[in-house]
Structure 1
Amino acid sequence: MIKYVLYFRVSTKRQGESGLGLAAQKRDINLFLENYSSTPYEVLQEFTDVESGANSDRPELHKAIKLAKAEKAVLLVSKLDRLSRKVSFIASLLDDKKLDFKVAQMPTADKFQLHIYAALAEQERDFISTRTKAALAEAKAKGKRLGGLRDKTNERNKVRRKQAENEAQKLSGILLPMVATHSLQAMADTLNNAGLRTARGAEYKPMTVKRVIDRLGM
């Protein structure tokens, strides 16, 4: 019988209390267990951290890893970034001969593929950070006042984020049952056919639906 230790991570206390991020992770893990795991299987225990993925010192993760090793169980997570956003930390887990872990969203990926995916994801985050710094430096070089402008922009962004979060919450009951079985286009069509519109009064597009799903942590 194959044994599993389940690990979940949400980045903020709000996500943990709402259950939205956890619900999506549990859905993915259940799909893996039902469709990709050999049977019979046993879930030994679940562990959950409310921590940033950049922080590798997470108490519940260490407990999960310790139990998985002791019981010769598979550490199962929904997405690779639930373990860590650092490729060095992922690599250390992959090199650990006593630890076996699986990623629900990449059920057939081997260790080499997981390492490549982690490296590409980290590279993308580094590039986004570099691009943002370059844009700020360019604006400063042109003599733009970043202080007051940034404050006003931040306020507008806060309002927009709040509106987007409210919109996502309203749609969660419709989208949650559809995520695993419907395409983004099909979900957009469902919302539009129901007469629903975005906060700006526009029809839903596949990428609009994707942003809503990402906000809900599905």
Structure 2
Amino acid sequence: MQQYVIYTRVSTEDQGRSGLGLEAQERDIAVFLDKFSEVPFEIIGEFRDVQSGSDADRPELAKALELVRRTGAELLVAKLDRLSRKVSFIATLMDDKRVKLRVAQMPQADKFQLHIYAALAEQERTFISERTKAALKAAKDRGVQLGGLRDKTMKRNEAIQTKANAEAERLIRIIGPLKASGQTLSAIAETLDTMLVPTSRGGRWTAKQVSRVLERVEAS
């Protein structure tokens, strides 16, 4: 029987508490197990770190790898960057004959392909970092006050989030009972349009917009 050890990672404590990022990883892993895994299979362990992928000391990953080496199970991650953002770390792992790695988003990829992908991803991150630095330097040379702009942007984003949260709290008084009665998201959207309840932009409701209201309220 195929055995898996599942490893997930989020970058901050806030993400760990709210579930942001975890849901997507769990969904990708579920799709892999349902559509691409050998059957039957068994999950013999699940581990999760709440810290940056650049941190070398990740205790839960260490536990996952120990279990993989001891049992011969495959280490299953949603994306390669959940394992590490450092190509050197991934390369070292690839060389470990006791570690079998499977990436849900690339179900057919072998070790060589994963190594190449990790190297390309690291190169892209380096380029983006250098491009950002160059843009900030150019703005500074033009006399732009970078700190002030950042503060204004943060305040504007906070105001937008506060407004969106208040609107969601108002809408949930209508959407909540409809959802509790068993209506689908599409049916709720039609009901809101029938009631002439406007969206934030004044358009027609969609199932996705209803879903966003529910997700915002749950996360608040």
Normalising by structure 2, what TM-score? 0.72
Task: Name stretches of at least 5 consecutive residues in structure 1 with no aligned partner.
Answer: 171-188
CA distance in 2, matches of 1:4, 1:197: 47
Aligned sequence identity (%)? 58
- Find the counterpart in structure 1 of residue 181 from structure 2: none
Identify which range, 30-39 or 97-106, moves more after superposition: 30-39
- Find the counterpart in structure 1 of residue 25 from structure 2: 25
Shift of the alpha carbon at 1:31? 1.6
- Find the counterpart in structure 1 of residue 109 from structure 2: 109
- Find the counterpart in structure 2 of residue 12 from structure 1: 12
CA distance in 2, matches of 1:125, 1:190: 43
Normalising by structure 1, what TM-score? 0.73
Q: How large is the RMSD of aligned CA atoms in angstroms?
A: 3.6
Query: Which SS does the other structure have where 1:153 is aligned?
Result: helix
| The structure with more radius of gyration | 2
CA offset digits 1:104-163 (Å, max 9, x no partner)? 111001112111211222222212211111111111212223343332233224444666
Cα pair 1:163 1:199 within 8 Å, conserved: no
CA distance in 1, matches of 2:29, 2:50: 18
CA distance in 1, matches of 2:112, 2:19: 32
Higher relative CO (Cα under 8 Å, sequence separation at least 6) belongs to: 1
Residues 10 and 191 of structure 1: is their aligned pair in 2 closer, same or farther, counting only changes over 3 Å?
farther
Shift of the alpha carbon at 1:198? 7.3
- Find the counterpart in structure 2 of residue 139 from structure 1: 139
- Find the counterpart in structure 1 of residue 71 from structure 2: 71
Query: Which SS does the other structure have where 2:21 is aligned?
Result: helix
Instruction: Say how many residue pairs are matched.
Output: 194
Letter in 2 for 1:81: D
5 Å-filtered alignment, 1:41-190, equals: 41-160=41-160
Cα pair 1:191 1:197 within 8 Å, conserved: no
